[in-house]
Structure 1
């Protein structure tokens, strides 16, 4: 696959020189991701990822205190799964929107919804209102993440995509270290609400930097010569079905009684056919090529993120750690995640990408298996930090590699739909496992 050529005549058209191993693409000349041609775009979209990363690390630290104050510990999983449930629908919508009209509008709309959801959660007086705010965040997050993949597909040649994916991962380092500390300090001294209310102020910078560059380099439909294609109503209906089905299953899982069988059955009836219709054919049996890439992404992300969501709660409620210390126990993971993503981006390792993914999955499994050992009082809590550092290194290799392979296996006009399928696998497994 080759990326679509930029519309701006001053921007160097993409070329495929994957075998050129003359140094790092990240800081190289005008052909690198920080060269003259791509500098503004790279800084802008990485800033968007930085915002999402800061929200994820900060909110995860404040969540146990928010749930306790709002008397919502029994609904704790909903605070996470509501985000992923609504994002499932938004991902499909964003993929079609971006393929037909360009990624600019879904990205701008998504950032606005993301900020609005944070404000709603930060001002919530009940746990259910807090969860609704998280659902609005999910709509924004789903729109943003797929639109960003389409931007990468259109604006960057294939040889630069591993580097920009590594830059996405690197943008998690500072939030992973600063986010838990800042969120824990704010939660303890000012209250958890300020963690949510303060983050939307960061929206202005990514908007000002990214949107003009995206308009110049990656705007418009996938086929500029032809008329925009209408939205696929069937896929939109399937997206709504997968979101409603996932929500019903999550609701049933919170109350394991006989009456829960009714929403569980309704959820499965909606979810299964919708998932089969939205994911590449053969995903459930790991068919060769794109289906197996999409399936592996869901297995990796769902298992790791679901486990990580409960680690701060476990450390606060079972080991007596403060929110700050519980968040910091996972801080090293941001650096090792970025390191793993950097490793996979090296041109010399391109031929070993499948081996890197296998190694990464083994590291992820080991981290998840080790974390619950801290429930034994004699096991030191720093074991979680070490285990999560190892697991995040593996995730850095796996997540970036699946993204690179997906774009490589996608035709230009299918980048949005296939990116949506990748994110649906990611989000759906998060919802079900949470």
Structure 2
């Protein structure tokens, strides 16, 4: 779709100023607060999970703990996208914020790894609602030329949480308990979440910062019936796949088979036609989101697990790696939005994918006992640089290829395939790891083989990025 064919409401026309101009100020501040809260919780929780799984005797089920979050995000993304198209982004955003508080309490009181997985499932539902609602609202509230800056600002909103969240979580885990991290985050986010819900209720049915006329036009667009049953079954298939990848026996293999069948049959119904074959335009942007997010998610899951369980690295060091990742992601996102706006978006996607491939190679090298653990830890921030360069570009290209009244559907598809990519890539990498362990190869060679597999998705993205070009 040519840039001139993208319709923008009068209140968000090109001449309305920047993201902090009066027409956009309320939306910009609201989205920044939401990203700060969700970023702080996410960045503090993720580095805590390997220690929690170890203490709950659930290291072999760690893919399930991580995968439940992603599986629920599939359903949350579909629900949030259709809800946002039908009545604006406010209500799904408010529900997501409330659920994010509840899930922290469920996880904090975990008596088994299965309760921890249940807490992560609820958290994934909340994250899907919030992510799709915010991205949809960006498309509804801002003209095309402001979207890269707004997406860069949202990434920058993770900087302070990234500086404080992971190191503090690591110190609390090391000196006190991983449960204290969850309880503390619940207390920290409860009051702001309630305040945000009250603010959002003042003008229900419209996205924050959207002009009344624009809101009525969004509401007038007939919304399709949301495929919630399909999304729920797809989430079940994703969860089964993660469970099945945790061991090699008939029960787990049966779970893998059931999960694969559900994914293959149902996933195409939630994605643009031609997504899995990388058709030009919108379909390939959705595919790129799945491949890159899957690689990054697997790196952030397996590298800390390997460092903590095999190389005996302190939790605070892993937290520092998460901090560096978030800061460098935000920095790279700022660079693509403000320093490199003249470079075609698809070229930045290629560059980011090659950086991610180099990061995965570094993680594989760090599995050697002869190299210091920092070698593998450095793969996390390097991978984040690649994601910071390419991820906002994929979003901008997807919105460019989407008509205005279908932007909620588009962001829902992006979220769905992002979660699918995370589930499938992590499951495949975990299966390779567990197969090596079952064959007696040892943990570190198993991790090395898993990281070798993770080289394939970013290299494929580098080859396919040209198909997403927006001209």
Are residues 375 and 351 of structure 1, via their aligned partners in 2, closer, same or farther at CA, if it must alter by over 3 Å? Answer: closer
The aligned counterpart of 2:51 is 65
The aligned counterpart of 2:13 is 15
Q: How much does 1:204 deviate?
A: 3.4
The aligned counterpart of 1:25 is none
The aligned counterpart of 2:192 is 205
Between the aligned partners of 1:257 and 1:342, the Cα distance in structure 2 is 47
Between the aligned partners of 1:413 and 1:206, the Cα distance in structure 2 is 29
More divergent stretch after superposition (126-135 vs 53-62): 53-62
Matched, 1:104 2:90: yes
The aligned counterpart of 1:281 is 273
Matched, 1:261 2:253: yes
3-state DSSP of counterpart to 2:341: helix
Matched, 1:90 2:82: no
The aligned counterpart of 1:232 is 225
Are residues 278 and 32 of structure 1, via their aligned partners in 2, closer, same or farther at CA, if it must alter by over 3 Å? Answer: same
3-state DSSP of counterpart to 1:272: helix
Between the aligned partners of 1:319 and 1:364, the Cα distance in structure 2 is 23
Q: How much does 1:333 deviate?
A: 1.6
- Residue pair 1:357, 1:401 contacting (<8 A) in 2 also: yes
The aligned counterpart of 2:150 is 164
5+ long unaligned stretches in structure 2: 427-471
- 1:352 counterpart (339, 344, 351): 344
Cα deviations across residues 94-141 of structure 1 (Å, max 9, x unaligned)?
A: 111111111111110111111111111111111111111111111111
5+ long unaligned stretches in structure 1: 6-11, 18-29
5 Å-filtered alignment, 1:181-330, equals: 181-200=167-186, 201-205=188-192, 208=195, 211=200, 217-218=209-210, 224=217, 229=222, 232-233=225-226, 235-330=227-322
Cα deviations across residues 140-175 of structure 1 (Å, max 9, x unaligned)?
A: 111111111111011111111100100111122222
Between the aligned partners of 2:207 and 2:356, the Cα distance in structure 1 is 38
Between the aligned partners of 1:317 and 1:261, the Cα distance in structure 2 is 25
The aligned counterpart of 2:106 is 120
Between the aligned partners of 2:386 and 2:218, the Cα distance in structure 1 is 42
3-state DSSP of counterpart to 1:331: helix
Q: How much does 1:384 deviate?
A: 3.4
Are residues 316 and 266 of structure 1, via their aligned partners in 2, closer, same or farther at CA, if it must alter by over 3 Å? Answer: closer
Between the aligned partners of 1:411 and 1:239, the Cα distance in structure 2 is 23
- Residue pair 1:222, 1:412 contacting (<8 A) in 2 also: no
Are residues 3 and 178 of structure 1, via their aligned partners in 2, closer, same or farther at CA, if it must alter by over 3 Å? Answer: farther
- Residue pair 1:3, 1:14 contacting (<8 A) in 2 also: no
Between the aligned partners of 2:220 and 2:25, the Cα distance in structure 1 is 31
TM-score (normalizing by structure 1)? 0.89
The aligned counterpart of 1:131 is 117
- Residue pair 2:97, 2:130 contacting (<8 A) in 1 also: yes
The aligned counterpart of 2:29 is 43
Are residues 307 and 119 of structure 1, via their aligned partners in 2, closer, same or farther at CA, if it must alter by over 3 Å? Answer: same
Between the aligned partners of 1:350 and 1:105, the Cα distance in structure 2 is 36
- Residue pair 2:304, 2:318 contacting (<8 A) in 1 also: yes
- Residue pair 2:30, 2:208 contacting (<8 A) in 1 also: no
The aligned counterpart of 2:357 is 365
The aligned counterpart of 2:141 is 155
Cα deviations across residues 319-358 of structure 1 (Å, max 9, x unaligned)?
A: 2211111221332222211121112213763442111110
Between the aligned partners of 2:38 and 2:168, the Cα distance in structure 1 is 15
Between the aligned partners of 1:393 and 1:203, the Cα distance in structure 2 is 32
- Residue pair 2:299, 2:380 contacting (<8 A) in 1 also: no
3-state DSSP of counterpart to 2:17: coil
- Residue pair 2:12, 2:23 contacting (<8 A) in 1 also: no
- Residue pair 2:47, 2:170 contacting (<8 A) in 1 also: yes
**Total equivalences in the alignment:** 415
More divergent stretch after superposition (277-286 vs 367-376): 367-376
Q: How much does 1:396 deviate?
A: 0.4
- 1:77 counterpart (63, 81, 93): 63
3-state DSSP of counterpart to 1:125: coil
Between the aligned partners of 1:287 and 1:323, the Cα distance in structure 2 is 43
3-state DSSP of counterpart to 1:124: coil
Between the aligned partners of 2:218 and 2:224, the Cα distance in structure 1 is 18
Cα deviations across residues 275-298 of structure 1 (Å, max 9, x unaligned)?
A: 111111111111000011110111
